């Protein structure tokens, strides 16, 4: 029975490799499917060299290698793993961290995503500050109107145009501070207000 089982596995592997070599994407019994490196790279808009790099770094190793020509042949499980890798890369998580996530599964994934979320928050603040500094260096603050940025005066004028007076604005800040204090802080920083004035605004909003 053991010999027959080994023969069965060998035949299955040879069938996988033959199918992958022909690029047919055949689905075998049990839902197994094989992909050539070119097919997989094309589907995820990657280069073959990227998948080779992932293999060398033990980030994504193909399930099968052709003994005759060393071709890489990927299973459906490999395909799904690459999909996860590409998703994590799209949100800016570095490859070294992705490898940890794949190895450690759910716990590491949750922790890494939370960390990346806070990193993005800081990056957004820095980008907005850089926009303002560039506009100041160019001596043309009107350029900010052509970007997705707004300063304190622009926000006040917007609220006034919506029919809000000073008392309405004060109540708006109070509600913001009560329901989302950290977001309130972030928003005031986004408007380019200095730390001293932000502290005063938040104090008066409590």
Q: Is 20 exposed, middle or buried (0-12, 13-18, 19+ CB in 10 A)?
A: buried
Q: How far apart are CA 80 and CA 152, in angstroms?
A: 47
Residue 12, pLDDT > 90, answer no
Residue 55 has a pLDDT of: 94
Residue 32 has a pLDDT of: 62
Domains of the chain from N-terminus onward:
2-104 (1.10.1660.10), 150-206 (no CATH)
Residue 145 has a pLDDT of: 61
Residue 11 has a pLDDT of: 52
Residue 115 has a pLDDT of: 78
Residue 202 has a pLDDT of: 92
Residue 26, pLDDT > 50, answer no
Q: Please measure the distance between the N-terminal and C-terminal CA atoms of the chain and give it in whole angstroms.
A: 77
Residue-wise pLDDT tens digits, 78-134? 999 999 899 888 888 889 888 888 877 655 677 777 777 777 777 777 777 776 777
Contact 155, 191 (CB under 8 A): yes
Residue-wise pLDDT tens digits, 144-196? 666 656 678 878 887 888 888 889 888 889 888 888 888 888 888 878 788 89
Residue 143 has a pLDDT of: 65
Residue 40 has a pLDDT of: 93
């Amino acid at each position: 029975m053991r010999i027959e089982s080994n023969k069965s596995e060998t035949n299955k592997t040879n069938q996988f490799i033959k199918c992958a070599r022909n690029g047919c994407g055949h689905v075998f019994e049990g839902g197994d499917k094989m992909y050539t490196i070119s097919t997989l790279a094309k589907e995820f808009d990657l280069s073959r060299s990227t998948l080779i790099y992932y293999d060398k770094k033990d980030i994504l190793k193909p399930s099968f290698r052709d003994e005759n020509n060393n071709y890489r042949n990927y299973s459906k499980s490999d395909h799904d793993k690459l999909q996860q890798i590409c998703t994590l890369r799209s949100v800016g998580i570095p490859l070294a961290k992705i490898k940890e996530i794949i190895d450690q599964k759910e716990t590491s994934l949750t922790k890494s995503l939370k960390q990346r979320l806070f990193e993005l928050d800081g990056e957004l603040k820095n980008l907005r500050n850089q926009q303002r500094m560039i506009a100041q260096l160019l001596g043309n603050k009107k350029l900010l109107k052509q970007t997705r940025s707004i300063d304190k005066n622009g926000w006040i004028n917007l609220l006034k145009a919506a029919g809000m007076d000073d008392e309405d604005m004060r109540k708006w800040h109070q509600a913001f501070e009560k329901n989302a204090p950290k977001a309130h802080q972030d928003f005031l920083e986004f408007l380019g207000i200095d730390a001293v004035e932000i502290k005063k605004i938040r104090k008066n909003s409590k």
